[in-house]
């Protein structure tokens, strides 16, 4: 494996995480790159976690780590929330897979309906990827049209039609990807974010079946989309008779209990949900207008049924966890705490970066925080501020992988795990966690500086 860390950092990292180093060697023998998710790849090796509770996880060497991955966004309530643990423990002894309808799936659906305004009817699936796949298929069945419009830099899972244009570069117009056919690509229309005129031109020219977008902008707000644009999108799609799909796999139950649609006062035709939906267990859901969802019914107005099996759909363990989690979400407290701490982290980091005179800046909305390294431009004047005038090319760019790996490792040395350059807070984090994190980032900056990786 090529050496990415400088010698002092690499030595300190190996000394702190010897158990993880050993497991990583074995992991590489069974998994490509040693990992089961691209995002968990880390050089020289990832940290192996044994247990987790609240805002912390504990690795195989007994180190305590403040977590900002939070189950890839699924743990708004924190790790092993007591209500979720109790619900799953109770259910696991009753039935893990009846291979039949069960009452908990109805309880789960009622929780979703109570919170998500667009959820007239729904179908449970197993992931966000499956939910967006289903949304496209239904859109095609009911409109008889083929094309799908998405935005550059929006991620909707890894299936063929929506993974293109999820990552830069965006300015070449070439979204081809290894393993994806041109036939599939020809059905995709990609439009830059935050440009309603470009959307309208594309709607007229391509007459797509649907428009899909992430509720707060690409990669959960790396390039934010805000209320005016989203409401404009609603108006345009309604006028051109195109189905609007709001992908709330991350934003659902996080931005607000009712998701970004509640916050921005917009009702999409269909909504994709996952992550918090199932309280940290696998699960997803497509929810939407009853007439559209009827495409799943045996006798339906469209004269064509969408075939939809799926061994684990509505699994009772996920349903039990989901019911317990959504009851806590409904109180509004987890969102309130996570959003408040998101602001505290962003503010604390910007004060730190100014103090350390490092060319980094932090921005974000709700419970997210994003560090932009190698930043050139004016400093923030409010928490509402977006760097680089919200340019997709500047905000969603590839950052030097050597620096990115070194930053994560340096931060792990200080007992903090960031999602790359980004953090997701939960209702289980505390102000003390956030303040400790700011200190850990200060120390990481010192390490990177000492090793000549940043100025």
Ligand X SMILES: Cc1ncc(COP(=O)(O)O)c(C=O)c1O
Q: Which residues bind ligand X (CB under 6 A)?
A: 72, 127-129, 132, 155-157, 214, 247, 249-250, 274, 284
CA atoms lying within 13 Å on the CB side of residue 395: 26
**Which letter does DSSP use for residue 63 in this model?**
-
Residues 191, 201: Cα–Cα separation, whole Å: 10
CB of residue 116 vs ligand X: minimum separation in angstroms?
15
Q: Which is nearer to ligand X, 46 or 215 (CB)?
A: 215
Q: Which is nearer to ligand X, 55 or 132 (CB)?
A: 132
Nearest CA-CA partner of 328 in 87, 55, 93: 87
CB of residue 268 vs ligand X: minimum separation in angstroms?
13
Q: Which is nearer to ligand X, 155 or 375 (CB)?
A: 155
CB of residue 127 vs ligand X: minimum separation in angstroms?
3
Q: Which is nearer to ligand X, 282 or 415 (CB)?
A: 282
In the chain, count H helices and then E strands.
16, 16
Q: Which is nearer to ligand X, 329 or 358 (CB)?
A: 329
CB of residue 253 vs ligand X: minimum separation in angstroms?
13
Total Cβ atoms within 10 A of residue 258: 22
CB of residue 159 vs ligand X: minimum separation in angstroms?
9
Residues 455, 451: Cα–Cα separation, whole Å: 10
201: which 2 tokens?
A: 């031109």
Strands (E), 45-116: 49-53, 56-59, 64-67
197: which 2 tokens?
A: 């005129």
Residue with nearest beta carbon to ligand X: 128
Q: Which is nearer to ligand X, 151 or 360 (CB)?
A: 151
Residues 429, 76: Cα–Cα separation, whole Å: 10
Q: Which is nearer to ligand X, 129 or 437 (CB)?
A: 129
CB of residue 38 vs ligand X: minimum separation in angstroms?
11
CB of residue 256 vs ligand X: minimum separation in angstroms?
16
Residues 145, 148: Cα–Cα separation, whole Å: 9
Instruction: Give the residues across from 370 on adjacent strands.
Output: 363, 422
3-state DSSP assignment of residue 382: coil
């Amino acid at each position: 494996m090529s050496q990415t860390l400088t010698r002092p950092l690499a030595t300190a990292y190996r000394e702190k995480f010897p158990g993880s180093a050993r497991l990583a060697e074995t992991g590489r023998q069974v998994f490509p790159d040693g990992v089961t998710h691209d995002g968990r790849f880390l050089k020289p090796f990832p940290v192996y976690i044994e247990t987790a509770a609240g805002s912390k996880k504990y690795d195989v060497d007994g180190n305590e780590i403040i977590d900002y991955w939070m189950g890839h966004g699924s743990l708004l309530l924190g790790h092993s929330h007591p209500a979720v643990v109790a619900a799953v423990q109770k259910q696991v002894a009753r039935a893990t897979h009846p291979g039949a309808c069960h009452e908990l799936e109805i309880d789960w659906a009622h929780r979703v309906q109570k919170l998500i305004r667009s959820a007239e009817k729904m179908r449970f699936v197993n992931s966000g990827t499956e939910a967006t796949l289903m949304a496209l298929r239904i859109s095609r069945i009911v409109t008889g049209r083929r094309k799908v419009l998405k935005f550059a830099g929006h991620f909707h899972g890894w299936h063929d039609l929506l993974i293109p244009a999820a990552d830069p570069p965006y300015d070449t117009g070439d979204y081809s990807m290894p393993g994806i056919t041109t036939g599939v690509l020809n059905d995709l229309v990609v439009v830059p974010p935050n440009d309603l005129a470009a959307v309208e031109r594309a709607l007229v020219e391509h007459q797509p079946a649907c428009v899909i977008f992430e509720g707060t902008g690409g990669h959960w707000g790396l390039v934010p989309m805000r209320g005016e644009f989203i409401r404009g999108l609603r108006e345009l799609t309604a006028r051109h008779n195109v189905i609007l799909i709001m992908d709330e796999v991350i934003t659902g139950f996080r931005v607000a209990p009712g998701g970004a649609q509640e916050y921005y006062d917009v009702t999409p035709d269909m909504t994709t949900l996952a992550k918090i939906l199932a309280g940290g267990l696998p699960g997803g859901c497509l929810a939407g207008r009853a007439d559209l969802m009827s495409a799943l019914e045996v006798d339906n107005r469209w004269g064509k049924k969408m075939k939809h099996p799926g061994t684990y759909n509505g699994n009772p363990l996920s349903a039990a966890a989901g019911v317990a989690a959504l009851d806590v979400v409904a109180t509004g407290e987890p969102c309130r705490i996570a959003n408040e701490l998101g602001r505290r982290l962003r503010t604390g980091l910007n004060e730190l970066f100014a103090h350390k005179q490092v060319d980094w800046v932090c921005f974000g909305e709700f419970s997210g925080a994003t560090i932009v390294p190698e930043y050139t431009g004016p400093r923030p004047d409010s928490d509402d501020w977006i760097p680089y005038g919200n340019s997709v090319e500047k905000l969603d760019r590839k950052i030097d992988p050597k620096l990115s790996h070194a930053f994560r490792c340096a931060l792990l040395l200080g007992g903090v795990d960031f999602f790359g350059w980004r953090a997701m807070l939960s209702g289980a984090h505390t102000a003390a966690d956030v303040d400790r994190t700011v200190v850990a980032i200060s120390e990481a900056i010192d390490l990177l500086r000492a090793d000549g990786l940043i100025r």
